[in-house]
Amino acid sequence: MNITHEPLSDLSAKIQIKVSKDDYEKEVDAELKKYQRQASMPGFRPGKVPFGMVKKMYGPSITGEKINQLVSDALNNYLVEQKMPVVGYPLPMQEATDIDAVKDNEDISLTFEVGFAPEITIDLSKIEVPFIEIKATDDDIQKTVDNIIDNNPEITSVDIVGENDRLEIKLVQANEAGEEIEGGFEKEVKLHLDQITDKESKDALIGKEAGSEFIFNLAKAMGSEEAVIKFLQLGEDELEMAKSDFNLIIQDIEHEEKPALDEALFEKIFPGKEIKDEATFKEQLKGDIENQFAQEHKRYFFGKAVDQLLEQVDLPLPVDFLKRWLIETSEGKLKMEELDKEFDSKYAKGIRWQLIEAELMKQNPELAVKEEEIRAHVKSYFFGSMGLDIMDEEMGQRMDGIIDTMLQNKEETRRISDQLSETKLTDLFLDKMPRKTESMSYEAFVTKVNEEHKEHDHE
């Protein structure tokens, strides 16, 4: 076998592989003899079919298979040995050759075009990236305080129904005379007065004492039968109950009061922090809010870092080869006219980023995502609240089995790997790249991002 290569441009070359009969003849004959031992034809005992007949029947296809494998292995090994940084994969330059039709013991010459990645020099310390710090405003903090107050009411049992109370009630189906139907529908539920949209019905409830019972129509009170069906979670065979009158029995009345901004609330929200006053409480909230915002501006920073790398790293590509390669790999879905329009903005950008990312991972081996990191991520995401530090061996084995099953989904595994890789790259950029920092509110940040997206869409 003889392999030669001839440059076509700075970033592409022609590689010619000449295969002689000596390269494949022995392997083909050995494979044919295996077929002979298994062959069965009319007029011959199994395994006794003449070698010539077996060769005539199976020789061309086996020869083609062996040559294909031989050429593929030789080409790959040659590219590795010559340290040729290939982009895409080699493409045959001649018309499609029907190797299956190669005549017995015929020499064959195959020519491929390969595209090369250029040498890449990346110095992250010389690439400045816009960095936005999203600051929590007084309004952000106050909205959070208001939400905490709304979501942590102080609840007490009272004797008289008030305007914003929640009732524990028992509903028993009643007839037109207002009498309970023996064996009829009944259910115990909780009803908040906010769910009552009809003023007359709400007024009828307000002022009632615990233990009261009276006829009540939920459909009228809640504004529709659909609302009742949802509230009572009625099945298909119970839908008639939505318009029924009920004997309503008030079993308990819960009154909600907004909690005071005091140490009891501070301890409930931030256990163990020993917060004594409102100012310290709000300062703690400010830090938490900004930590949540950090995920947003880290994603923004990563995108800007990628843009700067694509813009500043000198990275010429073998354009003609790549266009041909993209057409070949599209299986007829991509036309050259479409490719010409989108090559720079879509395809070239993606290829250049892949090459930059590969170089960064070469320079920083710690960026590689390991299997144990993927497993740890899944375990933390799905089982993080289960107290992993106190989990016994049996539970740990069961959990590992569940994770094994989840990671059989290759698409999901790849998504997690990409997510972890982006996190690692972001941390690298934050550590190595100088930043041009700007502080703003979350509202201003969202406006800025939306405007940039609009500008990008118009380009």
Task: Encode the chain in three state secondary structure.
Answer: CEEEEEEEECCEEEEEEEECHHHHHHHHHHHHHHHHHHCCCCCCCCCCCCHHHHHHHHHHHHHHHHHHHHHHHHHHHHHHHCCCCEEEEEEECCCCCCHHHCCCCCCEEEEEEEEECCCCCCCHHHCCEEEEEEECCHHHHHHHHHHHHHHCCEEEECCECCCCCEEEEEEEEECCCCCECCCCCEEEEEEEHHHCCCHHHHHHHCCCECCCEEEEEHHHHHCCHHHHHHHHCCCHHHHHHHHCEEEEEEEEEEEEECCCCCHHHHHHHCCCCCCCCHHHHHHHHHHHHHHHHHHHHHHHHHHHHHHHHHHHCCCCCCHHHHHHHHHHHCCCCCCHHHHHHHHHHHHHHHHHHHHHHHHHHHHCHHHCCCHHHHHHHHHHHHHHHHCHHHCCHHHHHHHHHHHHHHCCCHHHHHHHHHHHHHHHHHHHHHHHCCEEEEEEEHHHHHHHHHHHHHHHHHC
Structure tokens at 369: 């995502």
Q: How confident is the model at residue 61 (pLDDT cuts 50, 70, 90)?
A: confident
Rounded (5°) CA angle 34-38-44: 125
The whole-number pLDDT of residue 419 equals 93
How many CB atoms neighbour CB 389 within 10 A? 5
Question: What average pLDDT does range 323-345 have in this prediction?
Answer: 89
Residue 101 clears pLDDT 90, i.e. is over it: no
Residue 459 clears pLDDT 80, i.e. is over it: no
Asked whether the beta carbons of 134 and 297 are under 8 A apart, the reply is yes
The whole-number pLDDT of residue 96 equals 47
Residue 317 clears pLDDT 50, i.e. is over it: yes
How far is Cα 357 from Cα 382, in angstroms, rounded to an integer? Answer: 29
Question: What average pLDDT does range 72-97 have in this prediction?
Answer: 84
Radius of gyration of the chain (CA): 37
Q: How confident is the model at residue 385 (pLDDT cuts 50, 70, 90)?
A: low
Q: What is the pLDDT of residues 116-167, one digit of tens each?
A: 999 899 999 999 999 999 999 999 999 999 999 999 999 999 999 998 899 9
Residue 308 clears pLDDT 80, i.e. is over it: yes
Question: What average pLDDT does range 428-453 have in this prediction?
Answer: 94
Indicate where the chain has its CATH 3.10.50.40 domain(s): 154-257
Share of the chain above pLDDT 90, in %: 65
Residue 30 clears pLDDT 90, i.e. is over it: no
Question: What average pLDDT does range 28-49 have in this prediction?
Answer: 78
2-116 architecture in CATH?
A: 2-Layer Sandwich (3.30)
Residue 458 clears pLDDT 70, i.e. is over it: no
How far is Cα 36 from Cα 33, in angstroms, rounded to an integer? Answer: 5
The whole-number pLDDT of residue 416 equals 93
Residue 172 clears pLDDT 50, i.e. is over it: yes
Q: What is the pLDDT of residues 198-236, one digit of tens each?
A: 999 999 999 999 999 999 999 999 999 999 999 999 999
Residue 279 clears pLDDT 90, i.e. is over it: yes
Asked whether the beta carbons of 204 and 195 are under 8 A apart, the reply is no
How far is Cα 8 from Cα 376, in angstroms, rounded to an integer? Answer: 48
* Torsion angle (degrees, nearest 10) of CA 159, 163, 168, 170: 100
Residue 402 clears pLDDT 80, i.e. is over it: yes
Strand partners, 87: 115
The whole-number pLDDT of residue 223 equals 95
Strand partners, 16: 4, 111
Structure tokens at 121: 């020099």
Question: What average pLDDT does range 78-90 have in this prediction?
Answer: 90
Asked whether the beta carbons of 300 and 437 are under 8 A apart, the reply is no
List phi, psi (to 5°) of 17.
-120, 120
**What separation in angstroms does the CA of 417 have from each of 236, 300, 359, 367, 423?**
45, 20, 18, 11, 10
Residue 27 clears pLDDT 90, i.e. is over it: no
Its pTM stands at 0.71
How far is Cα 427 from Cα 369, in angstroms, rounded to an integer? Answer: 14
How far is Cα 336 from Cα 323, in angstroms, rounded to an integer? Answer: 8
Q: How confident is the model at residue 3 (pLDDT cuts 50, 70, 90)?
A: very high
Own/partner pairs, 232-240, CB within 8 angstroms, 24+ separation: 232/171, 232/187, 232/189, 238/185
More confident residue, 282 or 60: 282
Q: Given 3.10.50.40, 3.40.50.720, 3.30.70.141, 3.40.50.300, which CATH number is that of 154-257?
A: 3.10.50.40
Indicate where the chain has its CATH 3.30.70.1050 domain(s): 2-116
Q: How confident is the model at residue 31 (pLDDT cuts 50, 70, 90)?
A: confident
The whole-number pLDDT of residue 244 equals 93
Residue type, 23: D
Question: What average pLDDT does range 355-369 have in this prediction?
Answer: 94
- What does the mean pLDDT of the chain come to? 89
Own/partner pairs, 51-58, CB within 8 angstroms, 24+ separation: 55/104, 58/32
Residue 71 clears pLDDT 70, i.e. is over it: yes
The whole-number pLDDT of residue 42 equals 78
